[in-house]
Amino acid sequence: MLLRRTPLAGPYQRCNMANDALNDKLKAIDSNRSIILRRQDAFLPFESRRLDNYYRIELTYTSNAIEGNTMSRVETKILLEDGVTPEGKKTWEAREALGHSDAFSLMLEMVRHGRIDTITATVLKLHSLFYRMIDWENAGVFRDGPVYLAGSARVPPKASLAPEMMIEFDKEFNEKSQYLHPLKLAAFAHLRLVNIHPFVDGNGRVARLLMNLVLLKNNYQLVSISPEDREKYIKSIEATHNFELEASEPMLFYHFIADCELKSQKHLMRVLERVGQLDTVNN
């Protein structure tokens, strides 16, 4: 008996399968979002503050670790809560943690008090807080020279193009916000900022803060990208740097961020269960 060989999926078939899989994830994310919104208002104020502090430490640790900061999660917690700089760590590592913590607090304030300005203004404010203790002259200021990305063949746009590209970013973000799913919109904002690379340093950290701002503004959960997922994260970005020039969407990055969001939602649902807000957890 001869076995018929199954043909490999063509590009359009693969694209459709990726879209279907992503849509399934987005449906699960939206379902979890509805459950969380119905329950989390019952959080007591001190519980909300504890959750804010958890994410402040977690996002500061993970976002810096991805960029080469060697401070551990515990060391980051001690620094941010007790003001104690761990022994053996470089001054700039502690300053990165303190700066990110300040920028995270600003991001929360922007969302909760309706103080979100244009993308450009928001990004400049976030970068200014993150970078001011590292290099105050370049904090919140677009770069004026070339930058090079370690481990990447991509060359960021010329510095002179950054202001104009940020204006276009503002327009495109506003347009896409009318029809794009909020998770895709958050992922798009991250990718676009990384593509423009407007600052001498700190672009990735500000991009992750911006992404989380969009998620939180739309009542989704903050996501952190663990150092263990760094390679997968970088590959998903590298594969989609020029997605705006292609017919397809940045599916690999959408999937990666969707997985991160699902993980964050399940974590919060477990927290809600522990404080008696949920009887069961959807796995």
How confident is the prediction along the chain (283 residues), in pLDDT tens digits per residue?
333 333 444 443 444 556 889 999 999 999 999 999 988 776 767 778 889 999 999 999 999 999 999 999 999 999 999 999 999 999 999 999 999 999 999 999 999 887 778 999 999 999 999 999 999 999 999 999 998 877 677 788 999 999 999 999 999 999 999 999 999 999 999 999 999 999 999 999 999 999 999 999 999 999 999 999 999 999 999 887 655 544 457 899 999 999 999 999 999 998 888 766 444 444 4
- Best CA proximity match to 91, nearest among 134, 141, 49, 54: 134
Check residue 17 and give its pLDDT.
Answer: 59
Check residue 241 and give its pLDDT.
Answer: 63
Domains in the chain, please, with CATH? 110-274 (1.10.3290.10)
Task: Choose the catalytic residue: 100, 127, 190, 197.
Answer: 197
Active site residue 241: no
Check residue 130 and give its pLDDT.
Answer: 97
